Amino acid sequence: MTASIAAEAPPLRVERLTLAQGLARAARGARPFAALSYGADGNNSWISGVSARVLLDSEPVVDLWHAGKAVQSGTTGVVRWRTDGHWLLGVVDLDENAVGEDLTALSYRAYHNVFEAMKHAGCPHLLRIWNYLPRINADGGGMERYRQFNTGRQQAFLEAGQAAFEGAPAACALGVHEGALCVRFLAGRMPPVPVENPRQVSAYHYPSDYGPRSPTFSRAALAELGAGQVALFISGTASIVGHQTVHAGDVQAQLAETLVNLRTVIAAANQRTSAQFSLEHSDAVVYVRRPADAPGIRQQLEQALGKGSRFMRQAVYLEADICRSDLLVEIEAHATEAGELAE
């Protein structure tokens, strides 16, 4: 039988608002458990922003996370965290220049501290991670910076006894033009159900052509949130088939392939739960390498998903670099639906 989250655990809920709406609500006294914003670098004790430019006329958005009322906050090394004892949301913002370590060492340190914070909070299972790296495709002294990041990240997972292969959390890793190394994470008391994409080689099994240590993430992760809700966290998804980039240089074909990948991983997830997810009914972030591609990307998404879909109403478009320099677009999403995990 699949273990369920403890009956007394407060349910976790997530809601996406414009950043202005989210701030207004918090100003009226209803401070959420935590908040992750996209497209504005407002940072304080409960909100963490990514400093990437919002494209088109879309507004910065915020995902408000609601959990138990009794929130404890603290820091562990470079991690700032908030927990209600059942759920843990934490943030690392590391200025590389101030620290003077290479990105391999910094990434290792960030994740080492993440796992210490999780231990402290009694939330040993990672569900979802968001990574933002300054200059992700630049050379880091003989090795691409994304590859340095992968090296430090995997090392920290292995040392902590965390699932670095099957069972790894959902994740994304994007490049920002400037700012700090930013890692945000959601952890809980129960392990997620990892989901892979049958069209793609699992990223944790990528061959060494992509770097000495493979990326540490699952294509998607399912988790029970309590109150009869299941969450699907879909990792950053791009135009990769097998382990190879397809349609280099052709943004339209890359987006079409990305949509097939998204639908395929959602179908795989739906086999593991009574909750039924769809791309149309999800909250997405669309990362675009070249700002001039954004209008065409939105139009193509509208054709595929319908103008009135939740996806189209809620999506935010950000200028970002993708972890392979030949990828032009990447999409991540999450959704919650009523149901339970399959046995």
Kindly list the residues in this chain that would bind ligand 3EB in the complex (CB under 6 A): 131, 171-173, 203, 215, 217, 235-236, 238, 240, 323
Q: Is residue 330 among the annotated active site residues?
A: yes
Instruction: Between 26 and 241, name the residue whose CB sits nearer to ligand 3EB.
Output: 241
- Residues 103 and 137: their CA atoms lie apart, in Å, by 12
Least distance from C-beta 203 to ligand 3EB, angstroms?
5
CB closer to ligand 3EB out of 150 and 229: 150
**Number of Cβ atoms within 10 Å of the Cβ of 298:** 18
To ligand 3EB, the closest distance from the beta carbon of 86 in angstroms equals 25
- Of the residues 196, 224, 319, 330, only one is catalytic, namely 330
What are the beta bridge partners of residue 322?
Answer: 174
CB of 218 to ligand 3EB, least distance (A): 9
Query: Which residue matches tokens 């890359």?
Result: 254
The 3-class SS string of 100-168 reads CCCHHHHHHHHHHHHHHHHHHHCCCEEEEEEEEEECCCCECCCCEHHHHHHHHHHHHHHHHCCCCECEC
Q: What is the distance of C-alpha 203 from the center of its chain?
A: 15
Closest to ligand 3EB by CB, 149 or 311: 149
| Listed residue (101, 211, 208, 243) closest to 147, CA to CA | 211
Q: How far is the CB of 174 from ligand 3EB (least distance, A)?
A: 8
Cβ nearer to ligand 3EB, comparing 208 with 303: 208
- Tokens matching residue 159: 């040392």
Residue of minimal Cβ distance to ligand 3EB = 236
Residues annotated as catalytic (active site), given as ranges:
330
